């Protein structure tokens, strides 16, 4: 990001979880996602708890945030612009990605959806050690879209992967695939797929 950027990149903290939850629901508001993740107190609590658990208990998952220092939220903290969670573990090392679904969440939709995503990641990356950022773990608030925050998060993740000499995998929206392509990711998803399964290989 250029020195003129008004935004700042920082590690995400436990204190950011409420703002992260608000941002998640603002960023992911499509009818499909709202069916799978209805905006209810129970699902909001589920989102918050899963991110809190990852932040506190899964050191192989690296959270990074973009803030707007010039704008304060209702709690007097710099406004959360965007965040990402980059996962350094294989699926086998990580174990279950989430806790049990909240009662309001339709497992008949969620189970096959995430199983298909995991299968695609395994097929592409095979036994390669890699970093991963899933579609639901990279988000920019709608008020700040197309202002460079997403590129900051991607640059941070790619720099980390390069330093560790690791390939990278992302599940991106079709609309966002072009940004990932600028960082060397290639879309390997099937024709007609709703999301872009993208990999950036170093070997």
**Mean pLDDT per 10-residue run, the chain (203 residues)?**
78 97 94 94 97 94 97 95 92 80 96 90 90 85 95 96 95 89 94 90 84
17, 55 in Cβ contact below 8 A?
A: yes
**Which residues lie closer than 8 Å to 132 by C-beta, 6 or more apart?**
86, 87, 121, 168, 169, 170
In the chain, domain spans: 8-87+107-200
pLDDT of residue 1: 46
- What is the reported pLDDT for 97? 82
CA distance 96 to 178: 30
Spell out the CATH class of 8-87+107-200. Answer: alpha beta
What is the predicted pLDDT for the residue at 89? Answer: 84
Tell me which DSSP letter residue 15 carries.
G
| Mode of pairing for the β-strands spanning 130-133 and 167-173 | parallel
């Amino acid at each position: 990001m250029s020195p003129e950027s008004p935004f700042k990149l920082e590690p995400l903290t436990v204190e950011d979880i409420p703002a992260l939850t608000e941002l998640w629901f603002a960023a992911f508001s499509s009818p499909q996602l709202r069916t799978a993740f209805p905006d209810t107190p129970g699902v909001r609590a589920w989102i918050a708890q899963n991110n809190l658990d990852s932040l506190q208990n899964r050191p192989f998952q690296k959270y990074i945030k973009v803030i707007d220092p010039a704008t304060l939220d209702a709690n007097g903290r710099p406004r959360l612009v965007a965040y990402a969670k980059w996962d350094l573990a294989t699926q086998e090392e990580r174990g279950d990605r989430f806790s049990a679904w909240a009662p309001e969440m339709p497992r008949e939709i969620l189970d096959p959806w995430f199983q298909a995503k995991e299968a695609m990641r395994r097929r592409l990356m095979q036994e390669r050690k890699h970093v991963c950022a899933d579609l639901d773990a990279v988000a920019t608030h709608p008020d700040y879209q197309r202002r460079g925050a997403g590129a900051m998060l991607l640059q941070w993740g790619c720099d980390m992967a390069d330093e560790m000499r690791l390939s990278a995998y992302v599940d991106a929206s079709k609309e966002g695939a072009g940004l990932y392509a600028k960082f060397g990711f290639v879309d390997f998803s099937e024709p007609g797929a709703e999301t872009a399964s993208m990999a950036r290989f170093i070997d």
